[in-house]
Amino acid sequence: MQCTGNTPPISFAMLRKMILLTGGSVVLSLMITATIILLLGETGALPLGLAIAGFCPVLVTPPATYVFCRQTMELQAAYKALGEAHRNLSDIHARLKTAHEDLEHRASHDAMTGLANRDRFLSHLSELKRQSHSGYLLMIDADHFKQINDLHGHDAGDRALLAVGQAIAGSIRPTDLGARIGGEEFAIILRGSSEEGAAMIAERVRANVENISLSTADGTPLHVTVSIGGAAFGPQSRSKEVMRQADSQLYEAKRSGRNRVVMATGKVTRAA
């Protein structure tokens, strides 16, 4: 049996429920009617009363049961659709969150090295000073980088920069921030570091870069080193002044022969 139009078909389960409810309604109606007639002593009206009592449930119960079942099915379908919509919205929300995080990362990190970019570097330094933190700033520059590009091409230069970025990322603490601030220039912000601790990390970066095993596309060995300058900063320090001091030490490292660390106090380290 099937209904026409947009109404759902009468399934076996629905038909079974209609028959059971109708049968139960007929029996209950007959019992109640017979009891009332007998209590009133109107036995002559018993046949007609029972006929009416049996006919009314047959007339009313099946369509009422069908309407009830149809509404139940529609509610179940609506609930299922709502659940599916909720799952879809959750999935969309998760994808939007991932996309937003990816955009935030792209906006604050260097695409080549994965380190923080210049804007992130400057904002982090300002935020540390605003929170009354002190520490050390290391300015880092790849030595003879123009020669690498000129002799071996920009692909070799890019590989060298990537290697330097990886060496920096692998040399610092979780609380530190490594950044590429432009071209072959890098920086590290060491929150809460002493001069001794800063010099130790700077030397670790220098040694790790020097130990990089790198070659060009044609197999030519590529030797990469960096020069590093460091300067302290505190809550009252001006970012530009701290950067100028660290740059000054970096230039001193360059003038002294490159591949070395010079801190603001004049402490110099280099490979033996």
Q: Reduce the secondary structure of 91-158 to three states and give it as a string.
A: HHHHHHHHHHHHHHHHHHECCCCCCECHHHHHHHHHHHHHCCCCEEEEEEEECCHHHHHHHHCHHHHH
Domain locations along the chain: 12-107, 118-270
Are 202 and 230 within 8 A, CB to CB?
A: yes
Give the pLDDT confidence score for residue 9 in this predicted structure. 63
What is the model's pLDDT at position 167?
A: 96
Active-site entry in 42, 74, 101, 184? 184
Is 184 designated active site? yes
Could you list the pLDDT tens digit for every one of the 272 residues in the chain? 444 445 556 677 777 777 787 777 778 877 887 788 777 777 777 787 777 767 776 777 778 777 777 788 788 888 888 888 888 988 888 888 888 877 887 888 999 999 999 999 999 999 999 999 999 999 999 999 999 998 889 899 999 999 999 999 999 999 999 999 999 999 999 999 999 999 999 999 999 999 998 888 888 888 999 999 999 999 999 999 999 999 999 999 999 999 999 998 755 455 43
> What residues contact residue 194 under an 8 Å CB cut-off, 6+ apart?
136
Tokens 């220039």 map to which residue?
185
Amino acid 120: pLDDT: 95
Q: What angle do CA 65, 68, 74 make, to 5 degrees?
A: 140
Separation CA 25–CA 160 (nearest Å): 88
Half-sphere exposure of 192 (CA within 13 A, CB side): 5
User: Given 3.90.280.10, 3.20.20.70, 3.40.50.80, 3.30.70.270, which CATH number is that of 118-270?
Assistant: 3.30.70.270
Burial class (CB in 10 A: 0-12, 13-18, 19+), 137: buried
What is the spatial distance between Cα 51 and Cα 38, in angstroms, rounded to a whole number?
15
